[in-house]
Amino acid sequence: MSLVTLLLTHSASAATLLPRGAEGADQMNSSLHISKTPAVIVLILYLVSTVVLWSHFFRNGRKGYMLSLTIGMTCMTLGFAIRLNPGAYAWQFLLTFLSPVAFLAQNYVLLSRLSFALTPAITDPCLLLPRRGLTWTFLMSDVVTFCCQTAGTVFVIIGGDFGRLGQILSVAGVALALLSYAAFTVILVVFVRRMKRFHPTIYSSPYGPRASLARFTSTSKVHDVKLLTNLMLITCVGILIRSLFRLIEQSDGYVFPLLLSSSPTNPSPLLPPPN
């Protein structure tokens, strides 16, 4: 569901920004033109994905480690709903800009949980960081970048003399997030390569990915490390692309020239990792 929605989201531009030459949230409210049809399509896709994720959450024992994904999707959906109201640009930007932090955290948790599920004897030689420190290292990095981006966004919303400071904080937060997630992606790639090399029978499901995907609606366990890690790698690529685009956007200022010239293919609204 998430992968299909991601592809459809990339093909639909939900908003077009028109430059006015000023900065601040009020200026953006007057410069934002919403293309209603693609905006509604994206909102529906996010809403359906959110409902499916919450359904899986309750049907599979309410696993607390999946809450960052479901809550992040809920906030992202709310942000796209608010986006239909041009006068509330600042608040929809706050939600859609910060919600993906939860998606990053979900991948951290998934790799950590996977390493515990496969036992230390198997996963410890495959990880570049200790299992117990893996999640906390990157979650603390997320907290720092989240605080920078939140403070920066709030200052930009306030505008005036705080606008420039807000832009600097936002750029710093996005840059740190990009570096942090690039490091995590390297750890994940190394983990996958070592699992394939040292534990090929554990890494690949004896039933194949089609059998695992066919049990999408099942509540029974699916033993397919390869399928999970491949989906995580796909989301890593998407998250890195989003972070790079966000960094360029923030560096360009509050009226983003990048969005003005490439909004139909801009991958900024990124969807979360697989459930």
Query: Are 19 and 144 within one domain?
Result: no
pLDDT category at 215 given cuts 50, 70, 90 is low
pLDDT at 259: 47
Query: Are 126 and 202 within one domain?
Result: yes
pLDDT category at 99 given cuts 50, 70, 90 is confident
pLDDT at 187: 94
pLDDT at 209: 55
Residues 46-69: what's their mean pLDDT? 88
Query: Are 78 and 164 within one domain?
Result: no
The percent of residues above 70 in pLDDT, for the chain, comes to: 72
Is residue 32 one of the residues assigned to a domain?
Answer: yes
> DSSP assignment, residue 266?
-
The lowest-confidence range among 49-58, 216-225, 257-266 is 257-266
Query: Are 49 and 153 within one domain?
Result: no
Residues 7-35: what's their mean pLDDT? 43
The lowest-confidence range among 92-101, 144-153, 171-180 is 92-101
Per-residue pLDDT of 240-262, as tens digits, reads 998 888 788 777 654 445 444 43
pLDDT category at 192 given cuts 50, 70, 90 is very high
Residue with tokens 């994720």: 53
Nearest by Cα to 125 from 199, 183, 19, 45? 199
- Which residues span the domain enclosing 42? 1-97
pLDDT category at 272 given cuts 50, 70, 90 is very low
pLDDT at 270: 42
Nearest by Cα to 231 from 74, 110, 65? 110
Quote the number of domains for the chain: 2
Helix axes of 36-59 and 2-10: crossing angle, nearest 10 degrees: 170
pLDDT at 269: 42
pLDDT at 151: 85
Q: What does the mean pLDDT of the chain come to?
A: 75
- pTM exceeds cut of 0.75: no
Among 97, 113, 136, the domain boundary falls at 97
> DSSP assignment, residue 216?
T
Query: Are 142 and 224 within one domain?
Result: yes
Is residue 73 one of the residues assigned to a domain?
Answer: yes
> DSSP assignment, residue 34?
E
pLDDT category at 237 given cuts 50, 70, 90 is very high
Residue with tokens 């554990």: 202
Query: Are 116 and 41 within one domain?
Result: no
Query: Are 174 and 246 within one domain?
Result: yes
